[in-house]
Amino acid sequence: MARPPFPPGSHMSADNPKTLLANVRIFDGTKISLPTFVVIDGDKIGTIPRGARVVDCKGGILIPGLIDSHVHLHGKENLEQLRQYGITTCLDMECFPPELLHSLRDLPGLPDVFSAGFAAYYQRPGQGWPPEGSVPDPEAAHLFVANRVAEGADFIKMLADPSGPTTRGIDQPSLNMLVATAKQYNLLSIAHAMSPPGFKMAQDAGVDIVTHAPLAQALDGGAAEMSAIARMVSDGRVCVPTLTMMEGVDKIRPPGGAYVHTKAAVDAMHKLGVPILAGTDCNKAPGAPVSPEHGESLHHELELLVGAGLSNLEALRAATVLPAKHFRLPDRGVIAPGMRADLVLLGADPLQDIKNTRSIQKVWLAGQMFDPSAAA
């Protein structure tokens, strides 16, 4: 039987760190409950309401804090933007120097940061990229991973696409060594792959997660493409398609019209069982082809995922339950006792319309409440 919206014994208490969210409907990962209550006890979700300060949520919908599975951080202001849109955890795919990354970690009341630090590439002529990321051979690949571990990286990011006009790609043996060394340190390996050849290189290396989805041609047509997707399924590989970025690149790259292939690729992967995570590639990097806004772009990403074949439920899980699972973050992504108190209160039901993830009323980050309307 569902818990009552206002439990007995709850009352206002100014000197108690507990907060009781009363009269709230909870998204449990599959459905939305009848009105009940949730206890925030410090930075965790608790169980005992007695003595808690009461917040009447007036029948609003409580979802886990949103997770953007592909961001690029440049300063504290990016975290503030993410918080404004209900993002409580961000998975950063390249942030340097290490001093900047360290300064963005563990800031009270701001999103939790997990990062690759430097990403691995071979050469990016004329683009000012740091030498720490250069991986010209397998020996350098092994050293690259060891250095990232020493700097506190949470996972290893690498560019898997072959050489192009502005990038000299990592060769297959070096890519293989990056993945193998990451496994030795029990770290996930994540590959940037924006082309079918890049997808193949990433799969041959055995990466855990592929980020981006190809614009050049569809992954859903022909035996070779279907075989590639089936291989992703059998290997347990995950995709973060960054549809916001791919849509933006298609708009500026003549002749345009290639985004339809990206949608088809995501639809095919989803239908065959590849886990799809929501990530935006939000950035403010000079020279980036597109710079999605931190925060707002995740809501657009969810809408694009629905447009590519995911249901509203599946899109919401792609920004909550699934990234927590596949990025090995067992303390978040669901609303349950003992979990981190990362929460978003919505005024409307996202399972009815995914655009309702934008109806944010309150955000809690490790138990600290933030009111977006007060900061706007």
Could you read off the pLDDT of 335-358 as tens digits, one per residue?
A: 999 999 999 999 999 999 999 999
pLDDT at 166: 61
pLDDT at 256: 74
pLDDT at 372: 94
DSSP secondary structure of 193-205: --SHHHHHHHHHH
Residue 228 or 24, more confident: 24
Alpha-carbon distance of 224 to 231, in angstroms, equals 10
Alpha-carbon distance of 207 to 139, in angstroms, equals 18
- Per-position b or e across 101-121, b if 16+ CB within 10 A of its CB: beebeeeeebbbbbbbbbbbb
| Residues of the chain above pLDDT 90, percent | 77
pLDDT exceeds cutoff 70 at 220: no
Residue (of 254, 196, 250) closest to 221 by Cα position: 196
Alpha-carbon distance of 336 to 186, in angstroms, equals 27
211 alpha carbon, distance to own chain's centre: 10
Helix (H), strand (E) at residue 245: helix 243-252
Alpha-carbon distance of 154 to 117, in angstroms, equals 8
pLDDT exceeds cutoff 50 at 2: no
pLDDT at 1: 32
Residue (of 119, 62, 90, 116) closest to 278 by Cα position: 90
Residue 375 class from Cβ within 10 Å (0-12 exposed, 13-18 middle, 19+ buried)?
Answer: exposed
pLDDT exceeds cutoff 80 at 317: yes
When the pLDDT of each residue in the chain is averaged and rounded to a whole number, the result is 91
Return the half-sphere exposure (C-beta side, CA atoms, 13 A cut-off) of residue 262.
29
Write out pLDDT tens, residues 327-340.
999 999 999 999 99
Q: What is the largest CA-CA distance in the chain?
A: 67
pLDDT exceeds cutoff 60 at 15: no
Write out pLDDT tens, residues 249-295.
999 988 778 899 899 989 999 999 999 999 999 999 988 889 999 99
Confidence of residue 320 (pLDDT cuts 50, 70, 90): very high
pLDDT exceeds cutoff 50 at 233: yes
pLDDT at 97: 94
pLDDT at 347: 98
Over residues 291-301, the mean pLDDT reads 98
Write out pLDDT tens, residues 128-166.
677 888 899 999 999 999 999 999 999 999 999 877 666
Over residues 28-51, the mean pLDDT reads 96
Residue 9 or 17, more confident: 17
